[in-house]
């Protein structure tokens, strides 16, 4: 490695530590010795739905990219043919590092961080859509992500680890026809070339039109080298039963495993032996081997963390209340997956991504926590007199970069069957837009944007513009937002059967014409939504300007009313006394 590359590596490693350190500092202090409590992060949530657990027979996965500092831009990568002897260059891609727009966008700048590895290229790579991770390719192979952590001594931030999680997902998109193939590709690359560098324990929800899997991969420590002859990663995957649903909220979800049962399990050759060698599992204990208890134990419950770790419980509470799984249930004892009480539609899954504990335990608007306008984003926990009070960590948080809901539908040809529903920014104030996997381009507004530079060319900033104007009087403004959400998401959902039918008729005659039709629909609808969100932001600014309500139809102003309970709390807190009205003027004598 030359001097320039060495200095670049040192600098990027420093940046990585700074960003990760800043991210971890947002979390409650963890007490479990030797384990990084990624489950405490404001991290990502991934929902998984089997094909017989959905109302229409599609498989679904989600990814809420809950970061707050990460890149939010998307790309479409076309399919390509390659010559014999071609190689695929491998790069390190840090999830948390971005650059000022005048220096270059992330999906160009990341190529400055070459991992010093080229692997043999395959003859043909598939087209796919990606953001922070690969989300769906032309074969309807789809992904979602959630960081799960691992034992501290398993980390491998050294150059020997050539792959991090983002690069693994991009290669999987390029090479896989099925979910199983995607898992095998990523697992083999990790064990052969080393996994880690920017990342530690990670989970991917991997699906295709027939199956949904949870795939978990972890590094094997900083002393690993390719010359050791040992695997450079440890990984395992478990299939979600077709009639079940599951979730990963920054917690390892795979428990007892049976790698001989290939219908439901896949894993690296060291899946169990590495745990034994590292002292994470004692085969003489008489206890069965549990993947999550060995590699990423996650102690506590929703109750014991005051809702900070409530997402896992809340998901089961929503989809299967008949299971009577209480918030006091230890996370490690909650099931891998459940059969939902009723099948889930894509609208149901979208609603889950927007959940903020409304009306149940840990509701962040209960009492005075949400302020006079029931804003669920205010109460996030604090320290008083050296005592910590945790704010509940909802499935929906306002630091999300974007959210994906993928649908894989086996009864349609791949270009029509696969859909990535994408919303930018906070789910409660954003709009889901469908991107068919057969498209050949994405809107330009999806490809640009930065946290620190406002831009009307960016779809994400349109969502943030609405979100910003919603926060001031949330209980009022969210009703306006929901009406526009219902309009545009309703338009997409109602039109989809028509688009499917028309595209199928075109596909049977000319697949390229069908792809162009899907591209035109996707671009047109997305551009209309982005325009509608800019207008909605303007409308909210006008309507609630100066903390009043300006009715544009009657051209009369109204008053924003604070609730009676809040008025009384102010009286009590500040010891206010009512104003004594002055005595009436004396009557004039006749």
Q: How confident is the model over 324-328, as a mean pLDDT?
A: 95
Question: Contact at 8 Å (CB) between 217 and 235?
Answer: yes
Q: Is residue 222 one of the residues assigned to a domain?
A: yes
pLDDT tens column, 392-442: 999 999 899 999 999 999 999 999 999 999 999 999 999 999 999 999 999
Q: Which residue has the higher pLDDT, 37 or 369?
A: 369
Residue indicated by tokens 């560098």: 197
Q: Is residue 541 one of the residues assigned to a domain?
A: yes
Question: Contact at 8 Å (CB) between 195 and 219?
Answer: yes
Domain count, the chain: 2
Residue 10 pLDDT > 60: no
pLDDT tens column, 114-144: 999 999 999 999 999 999 999 999 999 999 9
Burial of 123 (0-12, 13-18, 19+ CB in 10 A): exposed
Asked which of 325, 342, 360 is the last residue of a domain, the reply is: 360
Residue 370 pLDDT > 90: yes
Domain extent, residue 485, equals 412-551
Q: Is residue 404 one of the residues assigned to a domain?
A: no
Is the domain of 474 the same as that of 353?
A: no
Residue indicated by tokens 């999906």: 107
Is the domain of 279 the same as that of 418?
A: no
Collapsing DSSP states into helix, strand and coil, what is residue 28?
coil
Alpha-carbon span 58 to 195, nearest angstrom: 32
Quick one: angle between helices 346-353 and 474-509, nearest 10?
Answer: 140
Q: What is the pLDDT of residue 13?
A: 43
pLDDT tens column, 499-528: 999 999 999 999 999 999 999 999 999 999
Is the domain of 294 the same as that of 421?
A: no
State whether the Cα torsion 41-42-43-45 is positive or negative: positive
Is the domain of 29 the same as that of 121?
A: yes
Alpha-carbon span 339 to 241, nearest angstrom: 9
Q: What is the pLDDT of residue 23?
A: 35
Alpha-carbon span 252 to 237, nearest angstrom: 11
Q: Are strands 134-137 and 128-130 parallel, antiparallel or unpaired?
A: antiparallel
Q: How confident is the model over 369-398, as a mean pLDDT?
A: 91
- DSSP secondary structure string for all residues of 460-526: HHHHHHHHHHHHTTHHHHHHHHHHHHHHHHHHHHHHHHHHHHHHHHHHHH-HHHHHHHHHHHHHHHH
Q: Is residue 514 one of the residues assigned to a domain?
A: yes
Q: How many CB atoms lie within 10 A of CB 247?
A: 27
- Kindly state the percentage of the chain with pLDDT values over 90: 86
Is the domain of 336 the same as that of 428?
A: no
Alpha-carbon span 197 to 128, nearest angstrom: 25
CB within 8 A of 570, min separation 6: which ones?
576
Q: Is residue 461 one of the residues assigned to a domain?
A: yes
Residue 39 pLDDT > 90: no
Q: How confident is the model over 224-238, as a mean pLDDT?
A: 96
Q: What is the pLDDT of residue 590?
A: 64
Q: What is the pLDDT of residue 42?
A: 62
* C-alpha pair distances (Å), 21 with each of 14, 38, 197: 10, 12, 15
Is the domain of 419 the same as that of 355?
A: no
Is the domain of 177 the same as that of 56?
A: yes
Q: How confident is the model over 245-262, as a mean pLDDT?
A: 97
Encoding tokens for residue 204? 């991917």
Is the domain of 356 the same as that of 432?
A: no
Is the domain of 118 the same as that of 229?
A: yes
Is the domain of 334 the same as that of 466?
A: no
Distance between alpha carbon 428 and the CA centroid of its chain, in Å?
Answer: 14
Asked which of 327, 343, 360 is the last residue of a domain, the reply is: 360
pTM summary value? 0.91
Alpha-carbon span 469 to 475, nearest angstrom: 12
Q: Is residue 157 one of the residues assigned to a domain?
A: yes
Question: Contact at 8 Å (CB) between 364 and 382?
Answer: no
Is the domain of 339 the same as that of 420?
A: no
Q: Is residue 511 one of the residues assigned to a domain?
A: yes
Is the domain of 329 the same as that of 428?
A: no
Alpha-carbon span 437 to 135, nearest angstrom: 10
Q: What is the pLDDT of residue 19?
A: 36
Collapsing DSSP states into helix, strand and coil, what is residue 369?
coil
Q: Is residue 556 one of the residues assigned to a domain?
A: no
């Amino acid at each position: 490695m030359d001097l320039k590359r060495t200095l670049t590596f040192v600098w990027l490693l420093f940046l990585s530590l700074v960003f990760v350190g800043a991210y971890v500092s947002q979390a409650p202090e963890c007490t479990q010795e030797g384990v990084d409590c990624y489950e405490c992060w404001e991290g990502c949530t991934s929902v998984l739905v089997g094909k017989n657990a959905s109302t229409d027979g599609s498989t679904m996965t989600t990814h809420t990219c809950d970061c707050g500092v990460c890149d939010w831009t998307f790309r479409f990568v076309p399919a390509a043919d390659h010559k014999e002897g071609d190689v695929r260059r491998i790069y390190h891609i840090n999830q948390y590092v971005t650059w000022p727009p005048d220096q270059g966008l992330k999906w160009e700048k990341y190529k400055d961080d070459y991992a010093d590895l080229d692997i043999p290229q395959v003859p043909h790579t598939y087209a796919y859509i990606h953001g922070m991770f690969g989300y769906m390719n032309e074969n309807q192979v789809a992904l979602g992500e959630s960081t799960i952590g691992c034992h501290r001594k398993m980390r491998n931030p050294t150059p020997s680890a050539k792959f991090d999680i983002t690069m693994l997902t991009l290669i999987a998109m390029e090479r896989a026809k099925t979910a199983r193939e995607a898992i095998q590709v990523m697992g083999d690359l990790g064990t052969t070339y080393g996994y880690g560098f920017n990342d530690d324990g990670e989970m991917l929800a991997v699906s295709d039109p027939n199956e949904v899997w949870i795939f978990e991969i972890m590094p094997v420590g900083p002393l690993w080298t390719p010359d050791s002859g040992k695997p450079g990663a440890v990984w395992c995957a478990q299939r979600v039963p077709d009639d079940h649903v599951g979730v990963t909220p920054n917690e390892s979800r795979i428990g007892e495993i049976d790698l001989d049962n290939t219908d439901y399990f896949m894993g690296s050759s060291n899946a169990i032996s590495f745990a034994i060698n590292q002292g994470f599992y004692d085969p003489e204990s008489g206890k069965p081997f549990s993947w999550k208890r060995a590699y990423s134990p996650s102690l506590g419950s929703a109750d014991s963390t005051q809702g900070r770790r409530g997402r896992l419980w809340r998901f089961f509470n929503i989809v299967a209340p008949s299971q009577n799984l209480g918030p006091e249930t230890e996370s490690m004892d909650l099931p891998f997956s459940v059969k939902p009480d009723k099948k889930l539609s894509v609208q149901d899954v979208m609603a889950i991504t927007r959940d903020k504990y409304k009306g149940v335990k840990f509701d962040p608007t209960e009492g005075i926590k949400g302020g006079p306008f029931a804003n669920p984003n205010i109460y996030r926990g604090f320290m008083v007199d050296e005592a910590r009070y945790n704010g509940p960590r909802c499935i929906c948080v306002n630091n999300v970069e974007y959210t994906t809901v993928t649908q894989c539908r086996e009864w349609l040809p791949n270009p029509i069957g696969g859909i990535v529903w994408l919303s930018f920014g906070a789910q409660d104030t954003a709009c889901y837009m469908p991107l068919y996997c057969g498209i050949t381009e994405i809107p330009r507004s999806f490809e640009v944007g930065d946290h620190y530079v406002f831009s009307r060319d960016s779809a994400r900033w349109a969502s943030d513009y609405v979100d910003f104007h919603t926060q001031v009087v949330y209980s009022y403004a969210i009703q306006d937002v929901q009406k526009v959400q219902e309009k545009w998401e309703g338009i997409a959902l109602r039109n989809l059967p028509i688009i499917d039918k028309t595209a199928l008729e075109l596909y049977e005659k000319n697949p390229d014409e069908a792809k162009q039709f899907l591209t035109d629909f996707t671009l047109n609808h997305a551009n209309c939504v982005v325009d509608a969100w800019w207008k909605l932001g303007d409308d909210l600014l006008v309507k609630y300007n100066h903390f009043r309500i300006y009715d544009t139809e009657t051209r009369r102003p109204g008053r924003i009313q604070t609730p009676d309970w809040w008025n009384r709390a102010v009286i009590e807190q500040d010891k206010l006394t009512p104003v004594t009205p002055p005595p009436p003027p004396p009557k004039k004598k006749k």
